Amino acid sequence: MNSEEILKWKEAGKLARNALNFGKTLIQNRASMLDVTESIENFVIEKNGELAFPTNLAVNNVGAHWTPSTKSKEIFHTGDVVKLDVGVHIEGYIGDNALTVEIGSDKYSKMIEASREALNTAIEIASPGVNVGIIGQAVQDTIEGYGYRPIANLTGHGIKRYNLHSGVSIPSIRERGGSVLKSGDVVAIEPFVTDGAGRVGGKRNSNIYHLRQVRKIRDEKATKLMMEIQDRYHGLPFAERWLHSIQDDATKSLQKLIRSGVVSYYPILDELGKGIVTQSEHTIMITSSGVEVLTA
Ligand code: MN
Ligand code: MN
């Protein structure tokens, strides 16, 4: 990787962190989830970044994957445990980071700390030549040390330019036969912690979509939307909210694209034991001597 590329990874990481910290201050009792999300996304755009994926808000038993739609009326409440996950890209170089806030109470502060400490431990261990299974082991040990469970089927992931989930995955549990980190790898590490079953799943629509394929469809407006989605998002996830600036009545075209298999939605991932979930995430770069935290 050349020094120009490294600078862009760093720039994206920095903006992702600033947007996350800004967003954290907005998450308050009675605040509208749609307003908070739009404020964070406008913050990124005003600073000449782009969204690598729709800003995710996952509240209480939701582990991951939800963003408000244009019509969302949800507000935050005191006691909510909120995972805020923000992704920024600059020319395709992505910074992905997340934190957890509990609004106006501290019933789950230890669980929040557990995810943060598990992330710190993972970053301490990560360096070239390290098997990701070793990281998973350390993450699991840290979380269990707090008396909680890691979520086994949510993992960290390699990141490449315009590719949010590339190749390597970083488990939060002990695992054999994983890949080995090497210098130049960019990876997001994101331990999820719960007092529930330790697994997530579900089918509900998260309002987060991705383009599966580009193909010939008969509807002209839907075709136009499909091409715009391809041009603007480069295969990265997108929100229903974003489409209304492209086309009037974008909802109708979106429905057509879903029906014809061009676009799919990501499901909301609920904790399967109805546990509370916390998360911490950084994007890091593996260097010749160790790591650099890009979203610091
Ligand atoms: Mn993330
Ligand atoms: Mn991630």
The CATH number of the domain where 193 resides is what? 3.90.230.10
**Dihedral sign for Cα atoms in the order 42, 255, 53, 247:** negative
Instruction: Give the pLDDT confidence score for residue 217 in this predicted structure.
Output: 94
β partners of residue 205: 267
189-211: pLDDT as tens digits: 999 999 999 999 999 999 999 99
* Shared-domain flag, residues 227 and 83: no
Ligand 1 ion: Cβ-proximal residues, 5 Å cutoff: 85, 96, 98, 281
**Overall average pLDDT of the 114-134 stretch:** 97
Q: Which amino acid is at 256?
A: K
How far is Cα 253 from Cα 250, in angstroms, rounded to an integer? Answer: 5
Domain shared by 287 and 257, yes or no: no
How high is the mean pLDDT of the chain? 97
Half-sphere exposure of 224 (CA within 13 A, CB side): 11
Positions at the binding site for substrate? 65, 165
Instruction: Please confirm, yes or no, whether 85 is among the known catalytic residues.
Output: yes
Question: Is 231 a known active-site residue?
Answer: no
Assign residue 243 the CATH number of its domain: 1.10.10.10
CA distance 206 to 68: 8
Asked if residues 122 and 284 have their Cβ atoms less than 8 Å apart, the reply is no
Q: Are residues 183 and 150 in the same domain?
A: yes
Query: Model's pTM, two decimal places?
Result: 0.97
Tokens 């020319």, residue located: 91
Total number of domains constituting the chain = 2
96 is a catalytic site residue: yes
Report the separation in Å between the CA atom of 49 and the middle of ligand 1, taken as the mean of its atom positions: 16
Which pair of tokens denotes residue 46? 């005003």
- Provide the residue range defining the domain that includes 141: 3-202+269-293
**Alpha-carbon span 210 to 87, nearest angstrom:** 15
